[in-house]
Structure 1
């Protein structure tokens, strides 16, 4: 069974480094978490300041210490620029061996394959190190770009979860699509990535 013990391991792909979020990332992340175009696809309100972003970084890092979440910053290896974040929002190992991932990317970096590359790295870690059998993603119906990316990665749409979560940005509830990819499906597709 995987134990992170508060340590967020550094992961790498050909163009990206997934690393622990640091206090010094707050100003850069605020550009994304404070951007209406980015947060409209996240179930969170737009952050109002760099201090709010720093508070969120500290919350996420604290949750990793209690093994309630794992969140990485996505950094371009070539320049060291932080372009977004991704991670496991929740996971269950005993009995279920499944995890739910979430992700965000600065709008200037959309459509370049960065998120697919980051998620492949994250999935490899989830299946091989954490021992997950199933990785899930919840996606807003209107986020068609994310849905297409997940389908290209082999995730299957399993259904619409009606009024599944309260909406932080407005009153009421939101519908979410559930996507999932099994370990055996990932391993079958590994060579085609």
Structure 2
């Protein structure tokens, strides 16, 4: 269902209830939460419930999310496919977040390289997209470094608690991916 993927320094594993406390801390972190397209969580129990929903969506092949396990064996983030469509499109959309103490060390780039290889190689995707908040410069640099191309601004694409929000669409084609 959700295969483990291993890199040199990170491993992507299926999310479990054991990851709830670390993911709650991540998803509620003041430097991470503003970039997430999800309602705020109020407890680790909410994170555990969300993990259950994500696992159910993986069973139904609607979404695919991993916990990112760092070199010390702890949960340092999450990433995966928010959705994908094969017939007629062969495309998917990814999302990710990483704990701030681990920023700037290449962990997310390594994790996303695993996700991209899985998407293009195993899932058979031709196009992988990401939606990025215009103010999230760190994420924009990361996706550019991975070979994604900025395709445009989607005006008022999302509705959040603070109103409508623009996003930047980035995409990477299988023919452009480094493998």
TM over 0.5: yes
Q: Structure 2: where are the runs of 5+ without partners?
A: none
The answer as to whether partners of 1:19 and 1:72 remain within 8 angstroms in 2 is yes
Q: How does 1:41-190 map onto structure 2 within 5 Å?
A: 41-76=35-70, 78-167=71-160, 169-170=161-162, 172-186=163-177, 189-190=178-179
* Alpha-carbon contact 1:126-1:132 (below 8 Å) kept: yes
How many Å separate the matches in 1 of 2:142 and 2:54? 25
Please report how far the alpha carbon of residue 90 of structure 1 lies from its aligned counterpart in structure 2 after TM superposition: 0.5
Structure 1 gap segments, 5+ residues each: 1-6
Q: CA deviation at 1:64?
A: 0.5
Q: Is the 8 A contact 1:36 1:46 kept in 2?
A: no
TM, length-normalised to structure 2: 0.97
RMSD, aligned CA? 0.9
How many positions carry a matched residue from both structures? 179
Moved over 2 A (4+): none
Name the SS of the counterpart of 1:142 in structure 2: coil
Q: Helix, strand or coil: the match of 2:104?
A: coil
Q: Partners of 1:59 and 1:45 in 2: how far apart?
A: 14
Deviation for aligned residue 1:45: 2.8
